[in-house]
A and B are shown apart, each in its own frame.
Chain A
Amino acid sequence: MKVGACGTFVCALASVVLTAALAACGTPRRDEPLVGPFTTADGRLQRGRVSFDRYCYKCHGEGEGALGPGMNHLPLPRAMMRMQVRVGLGAMPSFKPDELSDAELDEILDYLVALRRHGR
């Protein structure tokens, strides 16, 4: 069962680490009016951005959190984000390759990494 996979202890520990990470990494907000437009001539990033808005935006906003957690301020490795997307741990649903191709996922991750640095 996906839901409740994290026990209270793990959550408490995670909260401590998360708080430290939040303090270390600042706000997750990358809104254009706040930090300027995210502009790029890189086709991969442009495609990743479009795919992100199609698949991810509804729950994560532009990486700042919404229904689900924010990501822009967390030092999440690509491998972890890839696993989260493919396996769908917790409340987050999984995205299988027939729904989100490996190429699309790679471009989304490229975009997320670039977005994390944007405006910093």
Chain B
Amino acid sequence: MTNSGRRPLAKPLAAAVLGACLAGCYTTRPADGGGQTSFAGERVVRAADIAVPAGYRIEPIARGLTFPTGVAFDAAGVPHVVESGYSYGEVWTVPRLLRIERDGSTREIARGDRNGPWTGVAFANGSFYVAEGGELEGGRILRIQPDGRVSAIVSGLPSVGDHHTNGPAIGPDGKIYFGQGTATNSGVVGEDNAQFGWLKRQPDFHDIPCQDITLTGQNFESADPIRPAGGRATTGAFSAFGTPTRAGQVISGRVPCNGAIMRVAPEGGTVELVAWGLRNPFGLAFAADGQLYVTENAFDDRGSRPVWGAGDVLWRITPGSWYGWPDHAEGQSVTKSDFKPPGKPQPLALLARPPGTPPRPAAILGVHASANGVDFSRSAAFGHVGRAFIAEFGDQSPTVGKVLHPVGFRVVTVDTGNGRIEDFAVNRGERNGPASKIGGGGLERPLGLRFSPDGQSLYLVDFGVLLMSEKGPAPQQRTGVLWRVAREGRP
């Protein structure tokens, strides 16, 4: 037959052209991040637009929240949510701790000042513990009593840069564990930090290592956004903008520091280092065996030292260990060609003597997925016992780098034994993405999650709509939602 005679030619041709596209078109195709859309009016919230595995159901518990980030339960098992009070895009509101009533209404328990973002909350010993990101005055760990009294048990954390004070989680030892993100993307202050907004406020701020480090002396030239137009600046690693470094230069370490997990007693006191070399350790959770796991937001393709193709990571934390930042991604050296951004220089090592050898990740998640809140299922009534549940905020392309399709915007589970990743809650539709992009009333940006004290429900904090463009982030107030997932047939 004539047609059958043509097929053998058509199939290889189509395959060859498809292959050529897969091979070469990354650089020519535009970014298609999940936030690259528009939004107006009120957010539509419709649980039916979210798919969860058979036998589960999801429902909205509270809506209209402004930049919610974390959830915790008081002694009676009542959910409480923290609203951030700050969002990328330099939008300032009031950080708040809210009690979520049965009818979905909220009651304010406590509020902070202009030192957000409040990035997470935990409950222990009759008090809430909140990680205050400290964009203006530095990070703090706050203790909030049920009557609303607020006191700081830690203050002065180096948190006025790109990433903030995160967590907290209550350890088996009763101590408050928290993360402290880095000031920069990859160790060098640059123009991108001015775009974040903080460089002009804090021109002397930079990353602080947890131990003494020795530099290779790499310096990076960039435009100078601080001083008069047209100027250029040369900046080295772990140094203020416009400050060059030299080979062999030692940068003194101290605690508290950047890119670290630290801990403190519930009543406050000396801050202890647990682990470091983590770019933005956002989510902290202890598994049933007491093992600490942390989600890390990995490198972006931005700034003076961009790194490409670095997947977010779930780490199994061994106290005293170094996890690789700023010279490793996913446990591998960024000097590998895999991490070279298209059209930009190959990243080279900043540290002359690595402080250690990074371990292998428990799981490698999507590049730019923004793997954030994490918790472990402990109840057979819910299922998936022992698996890590991770909320993926979703990409912030194009600011963080290009993606060809929206990444994240879902909840996944991880088998920490072999690194297998499964989707657990996703929006329905022909393509992945936040509801504001793909339509419907499903998830926007999952950020925090926690199982209820009885283990039978998973509460998911959805930050709400965050638009992205070349101009940066545009968060939308009063679009946040608290969702609950439970097995069918259970209350």
Interfacial residues, chain A to chain B (CB-CB below 8 A): 3-8, 10-11, 13-15, 17-18, 21, 26-27, 29, 31-34, 36-37, 49-50, 53-54, 57-59, 61-62, 64-70, 74-77, 80, 83-84, 89-93
A69, chain B: closest CB distance, angstroms: 5
Pick the contact of A53 from B19, B20, B336, B363 — CB < 8 Å?
B363
Pick the contact of A66 from B11, B405, B418 — CB < 8 Å?
B405
16 A-B contact pairs sorted by A residue (CB < 8 Å): A3-B26, A4-B28, A17-B21, A26-B430, A34-B428, A61-B405, A67-B402, A68-B22, A68-B404, A69-B26, A69-B405, A70-B405, A76-B22, A89-B19, A90-B25, A93-B338
Q: Does B423 contact A57, Cβ atoms closer than 8 Å?
A: no
Which of chain B's residues 1-40 have a Cβ closer than 8 Å to chain A? 11, 14-29
Contact pattern, B 34-55, Cβ under 8 Å of A = 1, otherwise 0? 0000000000000000011110
**A66-B15 contact in complex given A27-B430, A53-B419, C-beta closer than 8 Å:** no
Pick the contact of A67 from B18, B52, B364, B368 — CB < 8 Å?
B368
Q: Does A17 contact B364, Cβ atoms closer than 8 Å?
A: no
B125 interface residue per 8 A CB criterion = no
Contacts of B367 in A (CB 8 A): 58-59, 66-67
**A84-B366 contact in complex given A31-B51, A77-B15, C-beta closer than 8 Å:** no
B420 interface residue per 8 A CB criterion = yes
Considering only CB atoms, which chain A residue lies closest to B28 in the complex?
A11
How many angstroms from the CA of A35 to the CA of B11 in the assembled complex? 28
Considering only CB atoms, which chain A residue lies closest to B301 in the complex?
A67
Pick the contact of A33 from B309, B424, B431 — CB < 8 Å?
B424
Considering only CB atoms, which chain B residue lies closest to A73 in the complex?
B430
Report whether over half of chain A's contact residues are helix, strand or loop; otherwise say mixed. loop
Interfacial residues, chain B to chain A (CB-CB below 8 A): 11, 14-29, 51-54, 309, 311-312, 330, 336-338, 342-343, 363-369, 401-405, 407, 410, 418-426, 428, 430-432
How many angstroms from the CA of A97 to the CA of B118 in the assembled complex? 46
Q: Does B27 contact A29, Cβ atoms closer than 8 Å?
A: no
Pick the contact of B337 from A11, A37, A53, A93 — CB < 8 Å?
A93
Considering only CB atoms, which chain A residue lies closest to B403 in the complex?
A67
Most buried by B among A10, A32, A91, A92: A91
Q: Does B420 contact A80, Cβ atoms closer than 8 Å?
A: no
Q: Does B24 contact A17, Cβ atoms closer than 8 Å?
A: no
Pick the contact of A10 from B24, B336, B430 — CB < 8 Å?
B24
Q: Does B23 contact A84, Cβ atoms closer than 8 Å?
A: yes
How many angstroms from the CA of A68 to the CA of B404 in the assembled complex? 6
Contacts of A8 in B (CB 8 A): 28
Q: Does A91 contact B21, Cβ atoms closer than 8 Å?
A: no
B417, chain A: closest CB distance, angstroms: 10
**A61-B366 contact in complex given A17-B17, A31-B423, A76-B19, C-beta closer than 8 Å:** yes
How many angstroms from the CA of A93 to the CA of B423 in the assembled complex? 26
Contacts of A33 in B (CB 8 A): 51-53, 423-426
Pick the contact of A34 from B23, B309, B426 — CB < 8 Å?
B426
Q: Does A49 contact B425, Cβ atoms closer than 8 Å?
A: no
Q: Known contacts A11-B25, A29-B431; can you find 7 more A-B pairs with CB under 8 A?
A: A4-B28, A11-B21, A14-B17, A15-B25, A50-B418, A67-B402, A69-B404
Considering only CB atoms, which chain B residue lies closest to A90 in the complex?
B23
Contacts of A93 in B (CB 8 A): 309, 336-338
Contacts of A53 in B (CB 8 A): 363-364, 419-421
Q: Does B364 contact A37, Cβ atoms closer than 8 Å?
A: no
A54, chain B: closest CB distance, angstroms: 6
B293, chain A: closest CB distance, angstroms: 17
Contacts of B410 in A (CB 8 A): 31
